[in-house]
A and B are shown apart, each in its own frame.
Chain A
């Protein structure tokens, strides 16, 4: 026996048993930061070739802008145009599609709306999601809805129960009871504007509130942090306790949900575009909004629109870069996000419980993944698309935005796979493609004090012919708020026009 022979044998056998990484295709999806930064840097644009007079221009084709358009159209007012910078409308409700499935690029569900969310119910009745008071079963999230990877195994539901102690359970029960009390006050509504009142909760962070209430369970702290990261893109320490409580106390669903589709809220965008497509111009970046007598002049590409009213549905912080004479918006803060769509041409081995719609890994910096093929009626699937969500919540948004732009696709690909590998050791054998979308200003973050922020109230009350409509007016970016703000702006414009 000699040592080199031993080495040879071991090397040969390890090589036989081991697996090599397969190549993964993909790249960054255009996120519009190029044109956006042109605006920020006040680039010079070519002069317009034509002038169009039109009563209303909507800036931004996300849910707020589309909802404003939906309202105008439904009220029989068709004399408007919607300008969207990106090549596809949808904003945070945009979607993609490949040979395996349609998939979301951002928001992927709407909680079953309660009775107060009248506009959401109205839209869903129109789209056939709600019929005679009954929710269409195929659009409600199929079983199993959620699972959590904790202590090396998957458990049903996201609330951690594996190895929970009596104190964990006691804290969760007390937390639920406190949220019921808050719900009963009627202040935590959707849309938030209907119930919100000045509150001492807005002066502290959600983290401080938990401490103040002597909640000690690490599971509960993780869970509340997860909720804040998931809905606001920020840790509980950076979230207003009012907003943190709103997440838990605002919803009282009358049906097990949420509502979801393979392409997420892109399904709603598609339906809205079906109705409104002739008003919607994509790839139409607005370069400038200037006063023109009593009207506003909106310059986009080779066209100048002379409008009575502009509904500004893009994120409000952009307005000062476009509009002459507007002071900068300093009070609003936005969370940077990354979403990755992974195409799997085979599925990872599963032990224990089945793959759910929403799959979360405990103690991961990311938010887990949602399965695009979950809402299929097929009993057998062997390929899928997973949407991996990552709110860069740790550290400052500005640093994270820089990180998003600095690092290349390989860096993020490796980070996404490394995170998934903890729960799926064979993930690298399954993924054939990873497309990544970087969103520098994905959603408004409700920091302590947001509720009574002067800036927010100033934007809501803006009384000239520039009306703000983005969900950031509510302090947080959810479908219901975006729709509400869009519809409200449309209604105000109609009232003013009819004078």
Chain B
């Protein structure tokens, strides 16, 4: 009998510690600043336990029944604490308030447990023995919980289910107590029924835990998240809303499936259709395979080399059922060679020449990416163009980032290339710009491949006309040792967003 009793002491101690750890960890995850979160969670929890211990003096009669109801309450509040906090973060503005309310509530209830239990047991054991045993098992339970939590619970079960599991333990202890102390308690079928009801509720919570976390996750993005992965290089997130699939790389929008055809037709065809008999094509960036899909519309093209830094990206766009439908299995075409490498050093170590090069890098938001928009890079690019070769460069928005756009044009010129800037409207992006560059004069194509959804031969020459608010402005060329483009870009977009 005593050993079973003390086992339940260990169990409730473990539960108490787990709820505290859950609250502290969740607060650190969601709010950051782990030192602050853990300190304040521990502090308010311990303080609330003190309040609970103090309040225990007002409970005078029906100790066992009170103890059982307190266990049930701890089980309910603690068990659902993690789920409640996740949802509170996703759906309400008052996360901190709810966090500390939950911590204080659990603390008060846990603070009541041990004093009540000791009073229940006081007639069964000598006081000296009682204190020694209860506290020993209290600490043992805490030790077990503190080891289980980081090693097993967080990695295997996650926050939501760990809390629920220990809620079930609390309710189990309550049910068990009704048998353990039946001599003091009597029959009490109603109390047992409520134990079973709480257990059932927590069990149901356990079954629905997946849905709860997903609901919280989904609300953080505007649309339903269908894929999310952190790679060595970036975070890839795919969202879907009705028939619109969007790709975000490190939270920058890359395409929307509703209008990406505009972007990719305009990126590829004005250049490639103007090069008779182009055979070898290079794509730098563009791991989504959408530019490659357009290039594959040319039967004369014999080989397409795609260089993208992130293997996860090209693997995703070679295998994901929806995405291969979107890029029409372009990346697994026999003519396509995928190379996962950093574009600048890769280009430096190869001596191959290409008839057409698509340069589709992320915008120059930092000095690392800015290197891919420098005179040094474009000089190297020029060396890899065949005699009739052309390159097309994704060049951000000539409307929103006007000086950045014309800086890229100027940089290409400084690298000794002739430039042909053009633009179009892509609804999900706004006005967008490209630059064709080559060693020889360019003439818009007279024919385009079949199946165009946006382009026509009549439209292409019009894209080279710029309205007054997008006309060239003065800009320095972007050099490795003086990356003006990153500063222009930051300045341009700050103007828009403020």
Please report A residues at the B interface, Cβ cutoff 8 Å: 1-2, 4-6, 8-10, 12-14, 16-17, 137-138, 140-145, 255-257, 354, 376-380, 382
Nearest CB in chain A to that of B50: its residue: A1
Contacts A16-B21, A378-B342 known; A144 to B138 CB distance under 8 Å? no
A137 in contact with B21 given A9-B46, A9-B142 (CB within 8 Å): no
Segment touching A, from B265-273, B467-475, B479-487: B479-487
Q: Does B49 contact A (CB under 8 A)?
A: yes
**Contact indicator A6/B46 (Cβ below 8 Å):** yes
Check if B211 is an interface residue, CB within 8 A of chain A: no
Among B255-274, those with CB < 8 Å from A are none
> How many contacting A-B pairs (Cβ < 8 A)?
101
Given contacts A2-B135, A10-B42, contact A379 B344 (CB under 8 A): yes
Q: Which residues of chain B in 209-233 are interfacial with respect to chain A, using CB atoms and an 8 Å cutoff?
A: 232-233
* Distance to closest chain B CB from A77 (angstroms): 37
Which of B34, B344, B376, B481 is within 8 Å of A141, CB to CB?
A: B481
- Cα–Cα, bound, A6→B479 (Å): 60
Q: Shortest Cβ distance from B42 into chain A, in angstroms?
A: 5
Interchain residue pairs with CB less than 8 A apart (16): A1-B53, A6-B46, A9-B20, A12-B146, A14-B38, A16-B146, A16-B150, A143-B481, A145-B481, A354-B366, A376-B345, A377-B342, A377-B348, A378-B345, A379-B368, A380-B233
Asked if B433 is an interface residue, CB under 8 A from chain A, the answer is: no
Q: Give the distance in Å from the alpha carbon of A26 to the alpha carbon of B233 in the complex.
A: 30
Task: For the complex formed, measure the closest distance between the CB of B33 and the CB atoms of chain A, giving whole angstroms.
Answer: 11
Taken residue by residue from 9 to 31, chain B's Cβ proximity to chain A (1 for < 8 Å, 0 otherwise) reads as 00000000100110010001000
CB distance from B104 to the nearest CB of A (A): 15
The interface residues of chain A lying within 8 Å CB-to-CB of B139 are 5, 8
Cα A141 to Cα B371 with chains together (Å): 12
How far is B139's CA from A4's CA once the two chains are assembled, in angstroms? 10
Question: Which residue on A lies nearest to B110, using beta carbons?
Answer: A1
Contact B342 A9 (CB under 8 A): no
**Contact indicator A13/B376 (Cβ below 8 Å):** no
CB distance from A481 to the nearest CB of B (A): 24
**A378 to B480, Cβ gap below 8 A?**
no
Do A13 and B21 touch across chains, with their CB atoms under 8 A apart? yes
Interface residues of B in 476-498 (CB under 8 A from A): 479-483, 486
- Of B34, B50, B143, B480, chain A has the most CB atoms within 10 Å of the CB of B480
Report if A354-B367 is in contact (Cβ < 8 Å); known contacts: A142-B481, A377-B348.
yes
- Whole-angstrom distance between the Cβ of B19 and the nearest chain A Cβ: 12
The 4 closest A-B pairs by CB, nearest first: A140-B481, A143-B483, A377-B344, A137-B376
- Given contacts A13-B24, A379-B343, A380-B342, is CB(A137)–CB(B42) below 8 Å? no
B309: Cβ under 8 A from any A Cβ: yes
B contact residues, range:
35 or more
In the complex, whether B404 has a CB less than 8 A from a CB of chain A is no
Q: Does B111 contact A (CB under 8 A)?
A: yes
Cβ of A102 to closest chain B Cβ, rounded Å: 15
Q: Are B342 and A5 in contact (CB under 8 A)?
A: no
Interface-central residue, A4, A16, A382, by most chain B CB under 10 Å: A16
Chain A nearest Cβ from B463, distance in angstroms = 29
A17-B38 in contact given A1-B53, A141-B481 (Cβ < 8 Å): yes
Q: Give Cα distance in the complex from A143 to B146, angstroms.
A: 48
The answer to whether A137 and B38 touch (CB under 8 A), given A142-B480, A378-B344, is no
- B250 to chain A minimum Cβ distance, whole angstroms, is 12
Contact B480–A140 (Cβ < 8 Å) = yes
B165 part of interface (Cβ distance < 8 Å):
no
- Chain A residues closer than 8 Å to B482, beta-carbon distance: 143, 256
- When the two chains form their complex, are residues B17 and A12 in contact, meaning their CB atoms are under 8 A apart? yes
Partner among A1, A4, A379 whose Cβ is within 8 Å of the Cβ of B371: A379
List, in ascending order, chain A residues with CB within 8 A of B345's CB: 376-378
- For residue B369, CB closer than 8 A to chain A, the reply is yes
Q: How far is the CA of A245 from the CA of B150 in the complex (A)?
A: 60
Minimum CB–CB distance for B379 against chain A, Å: 8
Q: Is the CB of A379 within 8 A of B372?
A: yes
B8 at the interface (CB under 8 A from A): no
Across the interface, name the chain A residue whose C-beta is closest to B310: A380
Task: Contact check, A379 vs B486: say whether CB atoms are below 8 A apart.
Answer: no
B35 is an interface residue with CB less than 8 A from chain A: yes
A379 near B481 with CB under 8 A, answer no
Residues of A within 8 A of B143 (CB): 12
Across the interface, name the chain B residue whose C-beta is closest to A355: B367
Residue ID in chain A nearest B138 by CB atoms = A5
Closest to A143 in B: B483
Interface flags, B328-353, vs A, CB<8A=1, else 0: 00000000000000111100100000
The smallest C-beta distance from A283 to any residue of chain B, in angstroms, reads 35
A131 to B92: give the CA distance in the assembly, Å.
63
When the two chains form their complex, are residues B368 and A380 in contact, meaning their CB atoms are under 8 A apart?
A: yes
CA–CA, A14 to B20, complex, Å? 13
Give A202 Cβ to nearest chain B Cβ, in Å: 35
Q: Which residues of A contact B24 (CB under 8 A)?
A: 13, 17
| Alpha-carbon distance between A2 and B13 when the two chains are bound, in angstroms | 14
Q: Report if A137-B367 is in contact (Cβ < 8 Å); known contacts: A5-B138, A9-B142.
A: no
- A137–B344 CB distance below 8 A: no
Chain A residues, Cβ within 8 Å of B394: none
Instruction: Check A143 against B46 for contact (C-beta < 8 Å).
Output: no
Cα distance A6–B46 in the bound complex, in angstroms = 7
Query: Does any Cβ of A come within 8 Å of B81's Cβ?
Result: no
Q: Are B309 and A380 in contact (CB under 8 A)?
A: yes
Determine the distance from Cα of A151 to Cα of B429 in the docked complex, in whole angstroms: 39
In the complex, besides A10-B42, A143-B486, 13 extra interface pairs with C-beta distance below 8 angstroms are: A9-B142, A17-B28, A137-B374, A137-B480, A137-B481, A140-B479, A142-B480, A143-B483, A257-B481, A354-B366, A377-B348, A379-B371, A379-B372
